[in-house]
């Protein structure tokens, strides 16, 4: 049997530890698919329904495991479909390799069918991007693509003309010495300098009202964050991708920050005099302290991210956990405890409010009830994947993170439709763990055919669809941010439980909050893939932590200008506000 260029590709991936690939076959990658077929006992090929899902799955696989996520798509439209998921990986710093096909090499740029130069199209999304020129080229570029993606935390892309995939591996140029590359894993120390540590400690030791802002880069530094917070009497506020960095039952965290965050976190940010940014470049600049308010230190593995959100006095381009470990002995301790105590007192009131909102027995059912009841039932090792929309508010505020759990969603891209593919990837990576998708009906409907992928591979995922038959976040943005009446945001209802059964899975429907906990118990105990269709109030607003005067004025304008169902919306918002004040 001849050794082909595609064989070299797959064998090089295996050398880099790749044992799982997400993709969809096509005639532009027939040689590559055959190479995977011959090694199916070593590399698992997860056959998806849409290439966008393959890219999302590769992104989530990389996020949840720290390994290289790999997705494969055919030439032309197949490769084009990958782009949304690849931008998700780019913006959240996930290591992903995309492999695409191309037309016959001697027909490229001749107007033949599916003649799309995907290497040119992928130029912006990729940190490494090339077209394979022949069998002797494959190992060189594949090795470099894997290395670049992993060590620069981004997207690498290989575009492979279909006829070259079957090319014999014999022959190479005189300068291309065989076997000159190697798949040797290499990691830098990523340590801070002594000078940076000393300057950071001086600033933190001078601070009285210190806040720690933790992000995805601090997910592996839970104990260190808590130790620093204890020594500095500093509340820890969390960017959304850092939800699992500190468990929500810690007395040092006030939960999330930003539009989806908590009031105590926002108050702490507004009143702090010192800010320690640990593994984050949280993108919403308006939720940081005022530029002249606080002295700041930022720890980020990527030096290009230092100082892009807030003016910092010390930027430490190093691993967050190692930096905090080395910083701790230099901290003297903050004797000013009142700032933390105020934040903790405010957090107690916030948790009471969240408890009230998540315990209401109104019909239509409130979405907060679904999130709260789910959160109480999640196992200690659960992996929870969220989606984008109003669902993100309930994900952020009403499902408490416990130590040992993992949480993720599309952070900086904030795309819809990622939740189901993320959940599938999590279950593929961790077959023994509880993997939950907490999604809205709008995002779920976009790629819901992938539920049949879970059925095909017997993945016991549980998908909770919070169904308000609306693109709720867009509706509230139209009203509250712009003062416009809601327009073209409602969608045609879908019976997602019936859909689950049609795919060969199990479906449940929840309409009454009194039944919510019982049905969730039954669904979580059911073997195999399950969809829980939770029908909720479409008029429940994702309230910001602190409502501004401008937002209130815009909302009133939207109602006055003719928003559909404005009476019901006004009554719902008014009732929520009264409960909050009471």
Closest CA to 15 of 90, 80, 75, 68: 68
Tracing tokens 């909102």 back to the chain, one arrives at 357
| pTM, 2 dp | 0.94
Closest CA to 388 of 438, 426, 436, 423: 438
The predicted pLDDT at position 578 comes to 39
Q: What are phi and psi of 348, to 5 degrees?
A: -60, -45
Backbone dihedral region for residue 389 (phi beyond 0: left; psi -120 to 50: alpha; all else: beta): left
The whole-angstrom separation of Cα 486 and Cα 474 is 8
The predicted pLDDT at position 558 comes to 66
DSSP codes of every residue in 449-489? GGHHHHHHTT---EEEEEE-SB-HHHHHIIIIIT-PPP-S-
Cβ 240 vs Cβ 385: under 8 Å: no
Closest CA to 387 of 410, 363, 359: 410
C-alpha torsion sign, points 8, 10, 15, 16: positive
The predicted pLDDT at position 176 comes to 77
The whole-angstrom separation of Cα 149 and Cα 155 is 5
The predicted pLDDT at position 2 comes to 63
The predicted pLDDT at position 171 comes to 76
**Strand 44-47 relative to strand 69-73: parallel, antiparallel, unpaired?**
unpaired
Q: How far is CA 141 from the centre of its chain?
A: 28
C-alpha torsion sign, points 498, 446, 520, 493: negative
Collapse the DSSP code of 397 into the 3-class scheme (helix H, G, I; strand E, B; otherwise coil) and give the result. Answer: helix
Q: What is the pLDDT along the chain (582 residues), one digit of tens a residue?
A: 469 999 999 999 999 999 999 999 999 999 999 999 999 999 999 999 999 999 999 999 999 999 999 999 999 999 999 999 999 999 999 999 999 999 999 999 999 999 999 999 999 999 999 999 999 999 999 999 999 999 999 999 999 999 999 999 777 777 777 877 877 777 777 899 999 999 999 999 999 999 999 999 999 999 999 999 999 999 999 999 999 999 999 999 999 999 899 999 999 999 999 999 999 999 999 999 999 999 999 999 999 999 999 999 999 999 999 999 999 999 998 999 999 999 999 999 999 999 999 999 999 999 999 999 999 999 999 999 999 999 999 999 999 999 999 999 999 999 999 999 999 999 999 999 999 999 999 999 999 999 999 999 999 999 999 999 999 898 888 888 788 888 999 999 999 999 999 999 999 999 999 999 999 999 999 999 999 999 999 999 887 776 676 766 666 676 677 777 776 666 566 555 434 433
User: What six digits make up the tokens of 413?
Assistant: 């891209």
∠ at Cα 65 (63, 71), nearest 5°? 65
Q: Give CA separation, 350 vs 355, 403, 540, in Å.
A: 9, 21, 18
**Domains of the chain, earliest start first:** 5-166 (3.40.50.970), 194-345 (3.40.50.1220), 358-581 (3.40.50.970)
Cβ 428 vs Cβ 456: under 8 Å: no
563's CB contacts (< 8 A; 6+ apart) are: 479, 485, 486, 569
Report the interhelical angle of 338-357 vs 263-271 (nearest 10°).
160
């Amino acid at each position: 049997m001849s050794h082909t260029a595609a064989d070299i590709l797959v064998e090089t991936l295996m050398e880099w530890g790749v044992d799982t690939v997400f993709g969809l076959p096509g005639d532009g990658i027939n040689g590559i698919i055959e190479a995977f077929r011959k090694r199916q006992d070593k590399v698992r090929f997860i056959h998806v329904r849409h290439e966008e899902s393959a890219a999302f799955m590769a992104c989530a696989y990389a996020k949840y495991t720290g390994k290289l996520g790999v997705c494969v798509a055919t030439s032309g439209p197949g490769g084009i479909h990958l782009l949304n998921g690849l931008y998700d990986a780019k913006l959240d710093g996930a290591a992903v390799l995309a492999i695409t096909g191309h037309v016959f090499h001697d027909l490229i740029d001749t107007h033949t069918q599916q003649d799309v130069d995907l290497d040119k199209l992928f130029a912006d999304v990729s940190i490494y991007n090339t077209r394979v020129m022949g069998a002797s080229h494959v190992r060189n570029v594949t090795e470099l693509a894997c290395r670049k993606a992993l060590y620069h935390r981004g997207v690498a892309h290989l575009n492979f003309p279909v006829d070259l995939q079957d090319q014999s591996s014999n022959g190479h140029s005189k300068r291309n010495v065989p076997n000159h590359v190697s798949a040797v894993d290499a990691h830098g120390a990523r340590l801070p300098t002594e000078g940076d540590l000393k300057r950071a400690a001086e600033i933190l030791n001078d601070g009285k009202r210190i806040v720690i802002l933790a992000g995805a880069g601090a997910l592996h530094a839970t104990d260190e964050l808590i130790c620093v917070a204890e020594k500095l009497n500093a509340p820890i506020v969390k960017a959304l991708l850092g939800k699992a960095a500190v468990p929500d039952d810690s007395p040092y965290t006030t939960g999330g920050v930003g539009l989806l965050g908590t009031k105590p976190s926002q108050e702490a940010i507004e009143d702090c005099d010192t800010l320690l940014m640990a593994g984050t470049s949280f993108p919403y600049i308006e939720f940081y302290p005022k530029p002249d308010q606080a002295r700041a230190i930022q720890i980020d593995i990527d030096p290009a991210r230092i100082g892009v959100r807030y003016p910092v006095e010390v930027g430490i381009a190093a691993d967050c956990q190692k930096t905090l470990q080395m910083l701790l002995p230099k901290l003297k301790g903050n004797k000013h405890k009142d700032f933390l105590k105020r934040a903790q007192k405010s957090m107690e009131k916030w948790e009471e409010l969240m408890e009230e909102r998540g315990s209401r027995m109104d019909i239509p059912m409130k979405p907060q009830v679904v999130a709260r009841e789910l959160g109480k039932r999640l196992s200690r090792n659960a992996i929870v994947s969220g989606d984008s929309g109003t669902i993100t508010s309930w994900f952020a505020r009403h499902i408490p993170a416990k130590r040992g759990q993992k949480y993720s969603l599309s952070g900086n891209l904030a795309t819809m439709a990622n939740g189901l593919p993320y959940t599938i990837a999590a279950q593929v990576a961790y077959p023994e763990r509880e993997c939950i998708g907490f999604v809205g009906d709008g995002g779920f409907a976009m790629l819901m055919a992938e539920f049949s992928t879970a059925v095909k591979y017997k993945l016991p995922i549980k998908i909770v669809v919070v169904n308000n038959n609306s693109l709720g976040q867009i509706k509230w943005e139209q009203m509250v941010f712009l003062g416009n009446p809601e327009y073209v945001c409602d969608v045609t209802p879908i019976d997602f439980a019936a859909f689950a059964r049609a795919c060969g899975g199990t479906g449940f429907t929840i309409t009454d909050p009194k039944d919510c906990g019982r049905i969730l118990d039954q669904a979580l105990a059911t073997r195999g893939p399950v969809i829980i269709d939770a029908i909720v109030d479409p008029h429940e607003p994702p309230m910001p932590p602190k409502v501004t005067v401008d937002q209130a004025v815009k909302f009133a304008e939207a109602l006055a200008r003719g928003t559909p169902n404005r009476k019901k919306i006004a009554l719902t918002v008014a009732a929520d506000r009264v409960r909050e004040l009471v």
